[in-house]
Chains A and B, each alone.
Chain A
C-alpha cells in the first residue's frame, strides 16, 4: 500500500469545540490502525480568540505536526484568513456556507485555492439542534473528502458520546452524517484519501498522559501540584485515578507547598511527584535544594512554556534547561531527564522514580508544551519495562545489623535509608549541613566529607545509567544535528526530507542531561558539521555542552516564537548552512547563528 497522509487543521473561536473535533479526528485514525498526531495552538483565554487544532494522519509513523494543510475546516472566517496560506494547492477549504456568501468578492479570496461550502450552521441547528455541532458537520465533510469509512466513523462517534446519553449520541452522529452526505453528493475528486486498516487500534496519548501512566506504574503514591499550563493535565489525570490506584493527589495552595509536601511524603517513604511549569518551578527552587540536602527522593515534571515571567502561557519553548540545571542555592546532585516523545515520557518517568530512590536526590523530567499536550499514536507501551528499584531503602533487619547512621560515608555516595516507623532507624535530618547522624554540624572535615558524599552520587549515577543519548541516521554522515526534548520528531522528519535530497545526517538526541554524558565529545569532534537545534533563544544545550566538554558547536538553529519547529523550516535552514547560494534565506521565524564567527 502506498503511503497515505492527510493533514487537517480545524480553526475557530475558543469554545467552539475544537478540542472535541481534534480528539474525534484522532480517534477515528488511531482506532482505525492509522498513525496520528494532534497539536493545539490556543491563546490564553477561555472563550473567544483564535484557536486551532491540527491533526496529521498517516499510514506510517507520524513524528509530529506539519505546516502544510490538506483540509482546512474553517468554523469561522478568521480561520481562512489566517491559515489558507498553508493549504496545499490540491487541498480544500471547507467553510460555513451559511455565514459566508459570495466569497469570490472577499479580499482574502484566492483563485488558487479550492473552497467548499457546507451549511455548517443550518445543519447543526436543524439536524443536531445545537449550533455548537458545526464542528461535527465539519468532521463529516472532511471524512467525505478523504473517502474514509463512514460506518467506522459513526462507531467512534457513538462510543465517544455514549456517556452523555442517547440523545447527544444521535445528534452528533446525525450531524456527522449530514456533513458527510453533503460533500459526498458533490463527487469531488480529492488527492488525499485515507483507508482504515485492520491493524489493532493504536494507543493515543499526550506526553503528560504518558508521564502519568509511567508514574502510576512506577508506584507514585503522592502527587502535589498547583495548576499551571501546560502541566495541569497531569494534576487532572492523577486526580481522576487517585481512588483506583491508591494515590493521594493534592492541589496545594502554591508550588512552595507542592514541592515541600512531596518532600514530606518522600521522607515518609512513598514515591512522590510534582508537576509544574517555569513559574511554579521558580517557586520550588529553595526546596529543590532541601531535597538535595536531606537526600529525600522526589520527582518533578517541568513542562516548559515560554518565559520570562508569565511569557506566552499556552505556547511552547525549551527555555528552562539551564535554569533546571542551576536552580537553588549551593551545589547538590540532581538528575535531569529529557524525553523526546510520548513513548519516552512513559519509560523515562519510570526511570525517574527509580533514580530518585537509588540516588536519594531530586530528579527533574523536562517536557515542553508541544510534548506535554500534543497527542500522538504509539503502537505499544510495555509496562513490564518499568520495574521498581528502591536503592538502599533498608529493611528493619538491615538497619538493626549495625548502629544506623542515615548519612554515613559510602564510597558510592549513597547511604542506607530508613523511613519513619522503622524501630531502629530513627534519625533527624537538617536542611543545615549535618553529620552522618543528621545532626547540624559546621565542622570543616565533616562538611568536606558530606559534600563529597553527596556529589559522588552523580558519578555513581553516571556509571550506572547506560543510555544517556540516542543517535539516529547514518553513522558515516558528516553532518550532526544536536538537540533534546520535544524537537525530536521534527528533527527526525527533517532528516528524512534531507535524505530524499541526497543529504545524509545523524542526530544526537540527549535524553539524560545530568549526569552529563561526556563521551559525546568523540561524536562531536569526529563530525565535520555540527548543528545545535533548540526551541529557545540561546541554544542552551549547546552552551551546556561547551561548558562540560569544551566543544563549541559552530552552528545554532533556534526558534523562540513559542511555536514549535516544522520539519520544513529545519530542512531549509540546514540547506542554507550547507549551501547558502542555493538556499539564500532562512525561514521567517527561524534564527540561525554561526557561533565561531562571533566574539565569544
Chain B
C-alpha cells in the first residue's frame, strides 16, 4: 500500500498554506500505508477546529463531531466494534480545553485508540485566541495583556491519568512523526501523540524553526520509556530543551480486554433478532 491509497479525489485540504496539519496528514497516511491498514477498518474521529477537518481528506470512515467530544464518540465506536482502528484528531483547545474531562477519563479507561493532538498553542479556526497550552504572558486577541494562566502540560496530565502510551512529536519532522504514529497505533491501549505544530497565521512564536531549535529526540540511549520516574522528569522538560519521542509506555489490560462481552466477537456482529428475554420476565413474577 502507498499513502495515496488514503487520498480522496473529490476535494483537497483547505488549511492555510504551510499549516502543520499537512505534516500530520501526510505522516498519518504514510503510517497507515506502511502498516497495511485496510481503509474500511479505519475510523477517524475528530472534534472541532482546523484539525477536525482532517478526516474529510482521508479515504476511510470518519466522524467529525462537536467541539471537545471526540473521545467519547471514539470510545463508543471502539466498544461497538473493537476490530476497528480508531484514531482521533483534535486540537489543543478541543482536547486540553473544552474536552479535558473526557481526555482524563479516556486515559483512565485505557481504551485501545490513538489520540493525536494538533498542539499549536493557539485557537486557529476561531481566529487567534489563547489556548490552554499558550505560554504565560502570550499576547493574543483574547489576552491583549498576556495570558495569566499557567499552561497545561499534557505530558504530566497523561502520566498522572494512567495513560499507557505518552508521546510527543512534531509536524515538521515527517519521519519521526510517522514512526511515533506507528508505535502509537500498534500499542494496545490508549496512546497519546501530542504533536507540536505551527499555526502559520496566528502563532508567530512556536514556528517550525522554534520546534527544530528546542526539541531533541528520545532514544534507547538517553531514555527508558518503561521508567515512570524518568518519564515524569522528561515530561517536565519545556522551554529551552523539549524532548520528542516516547516518554512512557506501559502494558496494561485495555478497556475492551476487561469486557467479557467482547471476548467472542464484536458487539456489532451479534444477531439482535429474537433475543429471548423470557428469563428476565419470569424473574419479575
Contact = CB atoms under 8 A, between A and B. Distances in A.
B41 A421 contact: yes
A119 to B, nearest CB: 34
B275 A217 contact: yes
A419 B268 contact: yes
Contact of B43 (A204, A261, A420): A420
Nearest to B62: A428
Contact of A420 (B48, B81, B281): B81
B66 A383 contact: no
A269 B73 contact: no
Contacts of B10: 437, 439
Given A30-B285, A264-B74, A428-B58, A221 B80 contact: yes
B29 to A, nearest CB: 15
Interface stretch (A107-115, A248-256, A364-372, A509-517): A248-256
A254 B77 CA distance: 18
B277 A264 contact: no
7 contacts: A218-B272, A254-B101, A260-B69, A264-B78, A290-B66, A381-B281, A431-B65
A265 B53 contact: no
A205 interface: yes
A216 B73 contact: no
Interface in A429-460: 429-432, 437-440
A245 interface: yes
Contact of A428 (B44, B104, B264, B275): B44
B238 interface: no
Contacts of A427: 61-62
Interface in B1-28: 10-11
A112 to B, nearest CB: 40
A254 to B, nearest CB: 6
Contacts of B104: 253
A571 to B, nearest CB: 32
Given A423-B40, A429-B62, A431-B48, A270 B268 contact: yes
Contacts of A254: 101
A120 interface: no
Top-8 shortest CB links A-B: A219-B272, A264-B76, A428-B62, A268-B80, A260-B72, A264-B73, A265-B76, A261-B76
Interface in A268-309: 268-272, 286-287, 290, 294
A421 B281 contact: no
Given A248-B262, A261-B72, A262-B76, A203 B281 contact: yes
A529 to B, nearest CB: 40
A383 B38 CA distance: 40
A247 B75 contact: no
A426 interface: yes
A89 interface: no
A313 to B, nearest CB: 23
B260 interface: yes
B158 interface: no
A224 B270 contact: no
Nearest to B81: A268
Interface of B: 10-11, 38-41, 43-45, 48, 53, 55-56, 58-66, 68-69, 71-81, 83-84, 101-102, 104-105, 259-262, 264, 267-268, 270, 272-273, 275-278, 280-281, 284-285
A55 interface: no
A246 interface: yes
A265 B45 CA distance: 12
B66 A431 contact: yes
Interface of A: 30-31, 200-205, 209, 213, 216-219, 221-222, 224, 241-243, 245-248, 250, 252-254, 256-258, 260-272, 286-287, 290, 294, 381, 383, 387-388, 419-432, 437-440
Given A217-B275, A428-B63, A440-B53, A265 B79 contact: yes
Nearest to B98: A256
A269 B79 contact: no
With most chain B CB atoms within 10 A of its CB, the pick from A241, A242, A256, A257 is A257
Contact of A264 (B63, B262, B275): B63
A237 to B, nearest CB: 9
A259 to B, nearest CB: 8
B48 A388 contact: no
Contacts of B66: 260, 286-287, 290, 431
Nearest to B273: A388
A269 B270 CA distance: 11
B69 to A, nearest CB: 4
Contacts of A421: 40-41, 81, 83-84, 268
Interface centre among B10, B62, B104, B277 (most CB of A within 10 A): B277
Contacts of A30: 285
A428 B8 CA distance: 11
Contacts of B84: 268, 420-421
Contacts of A428: 44, 55-56, 58, 60-64
Contacts of A205: 284
B253 to A, nearest CB: 16
B270 A246 contact: yes
A407 to B, nearest CB: 13
Contacts of B60: 426, 428
A261 B109 CA distance: 13
B82 to A, nearest CB: 10
Contact of A263 (B59, B71, B73, B101): B73
Given A219-B275, A221-B272, A420-B84, 6 more contacts: A257-B72, A264-B63, A265-B79, A269-B81, A383-B276, A440-B56
B76 A216 contact: no
A424 B40 CA distance: 8
A221 B69 contact: no
Contacts of B38: 423
B57 to A, nearest CB: 9
A426 B39 contact: yes
A383 B102 contact: no
A425 B43 CA distance: 12
A428 B60 CA distance: 7
Contact of B76 (A222, A294, A438, A440): A222
A431 B43 CA distance: 16
A420 B66 CA distance: 20
B77 A267 contact: yes
B272 A268 contact: no
A439 B11 contact: yes
Contacts of B77: 264-265, 267-268, 420
A214 to B, nearest CB: 9
A363 to B, nearest CB: 16
